[in-house]
Amino acid sequence: MEAKTDKIDAQVLAEFAASLKVYKAVPFSVEHDQLSEQIKQRDRFIQHRDDDKRRCQQSSTPVVIDRYQAHIDFLQAQIKDLESLIARTMKEMDDQTVKRLMAIKGIGLVTASNLVCYLPELGSLSRGKIAKLVGVAPLNRDSGEGSKPRYVRGGRGKIRRVLYMAAWVMVRYDAGFKARYERLRERGKCAKVAIVACMRVLIVRLNAMLRDGTPWRSEAI
């Protein structure tokens, strides 16, 4: 069923959604809860560090700059410590999902931990549903006989942010993703549209790999 923007269509869709069975909540372990808190704290420290970097660049007083830099250095050390803690927590989880994700070149610690923490549905949904859940599925904006360009919206912002960086790594190091990105650019697509398309392919393939129990394979060129 395609997304519509008419009020009548929206009402029909709402009634249809209400008739569906609701997915059961995914049970979290103590380790999952700890991982969530560690990731959140890392995100906050990164935000504080980046804010101080901007303030430092805007300052002209040496003593102020020195104190900003000292705080930046402190936060950077804390971020590294948290990353080590996240790695230990993920190891203690002994989760097969973690191991399979980390074995893929381009899926590092930050991406894998965020996927495990904020996308527990990964590996249990269809390709269309996982793309919409993350917010990388192009949705149409048709109304009556009118038709507008499709665009992505909604979904889980935290997952999109780490998926964005992972997709760039895949474009750089994976021949299949690189070829896909370049084909889209050659067809006149802007860089943002091309990388979002790669993000969608990446999350769909990760979902299929975990759902079907198959190994990761590079795309055929």
pLDDT digits (tens, 9 = 90+) for 132-186: 999 998 765 545 454 445 556 567 888 999 999 999 999 999 999 999 999 999 9
Task: Please report whether residue 186 resides in a domain.
Answer: yes
Give the type of residue at 59: S
Please give the tally of structural domains in the chain. 2
Task: Please report whether residue 149 resides in a domain.
Answer: yes
- Both 121 and 195 in one domain: the answer is yes
Q: Which structural domain range is residue 74 located in?
A: 30-94
Strands (E), the chain: none
2-16, 105-119, 151-165: least confident range: 2-16
- Both 172 and 89 in one domain: the answer is no
35-62 confidence digits (pLDDT tens): 999 999 999 999 999 999 999 999 999 9
Task: Please report whether residue 219 resides in a domain.
Answer: no
Structure pTM?
A: 0.75
- Both 121 and 207 in one domain: the answer is yes
How far lies 153's CA from each of 142, 156, 166, in Å?
Answer: 15, 10, 19
- Both 52 and 131 in one domain: the answer is no
Residue identified by tokens 């040496």 is 62
Task: Please report whether residue 100 resides in a domain.
Answer: no
Task: Please report whether residue 160 resides in a domain.
Answer: yes
Task: Please report whether residue 217 resides in a domain.
Answer: no
Instruction: Tell me how far apart the alpha carbons of residues 178 and 169 are, in angstroms, rounded to a whole number.
Output: 10
Mean confidence (pLDDT) of the chain: 84
